[in-house]
Amino acid sequence: MSLGLLGNKIGMTQIFDESGNIIPVTILKIGPCIVTQIKTILTDGYNAIQVGYGTISSKYLTEPELGHLQKSNIQPLKYLKEFRVNNPEEFVIGQLLNVQTFSAGQLINVTGKSIGRGFAGNQKRNNFARGSMTHGSKNHRAPGSIGMSTTPGRVFPGKRMAGHLGNQITNIKKLKIIQVNCDENILVVKGSVPGKPGNLLSITSLE
């Protein structure tokens, strides 16, 4: 259990290390996040902190959401997320959290929604092979037979078929931080992260 922050994906690029090797990297804009609630074992049964990210007009929030934030005298925030921690006593409500909690060389987990690709066929969704394109074949990208004979005489649940692809919560583990820019709250991590540029991400450090 470790502290996490919220941020947005800016995009991908590549940089060169000291040896001249190309490193594919993703630029992330992290925080600053505000501690909006502290939960302890005595009051809630577990230790956690809730952080908020992204200022927004109060007209876009419901009355319960506004009341929750106004109780702690915190401005309206677009996103709220809870992270389990072992030491909630080290945080105070209203505390600002930014990229200073991370360091170059550290490993992090990044969670976000993958790119939605709509309704996709078997070739794209399940990496199926297609049928012959010549010799009079009429079966190019068709799924083919899905059922079975008298026994069991039905289609088993979970059969791989065409359907909705992407737009799911995806977790990429053990991404290495290459650079940290505390002035701009920027993280440069090696590799790719879920979603398109602008996608909301949750970043947690490994214990």
63-75 tens-digit pLDDT? 999 999 999 899 9
Yes or no: say if 26 and 41 are a contact pair by the CB < 8 Å rule.
no
> pLDDT tier at 207 (50, 70, 90 boundaries)?
low
Q: CB-based contacts of 89: which residues, under 8 Å, 6+ apart?
A: 40
Average pLDDT over residues 1-22: 89
Q: How far apart are CA 109 and CA 28, in angstroms?
A: 13
Q: What is the pLDDT of residue 199?
A: 94
Burial class (CB in 10 A: 0-12, 13-18, 19+), 108: buried
Longest dimension (CA), the chain: 73
Q: How far apart are CA 76 and CA 61, in angstroms?
A: 8
pTM for this prediction: 0.85
Q: Which domains are assigned to the chain?
A: 4-118+170-205 (2.40.30.10), 119-165 (no CATH)
Lowest mean pLDDT among 13-22, 24-33, 144-153, 173-182: 144-153
Yes or no: say if 198 and 8 are a contact pair by the CB < 8 Å rule.
yes
Yes or no: say if 52 and 79 are a contact pair by the CB < 8 Å rule.
yes
| Model confidence pLDDT, tens digit, residues 72-123 | 899 999 999 999 998 888 899 999 999 988 999 999 999 999 999 999 999 9
Backbone phi, psi, residue 88, to 5°: -65, -20
Average pLDDT over residues 16-31: 92
| Model confidence pLDDT, tens digit, residues 128-171 | 999 999 999 988 999 988 888 888 889 999 999 999 999 999 99
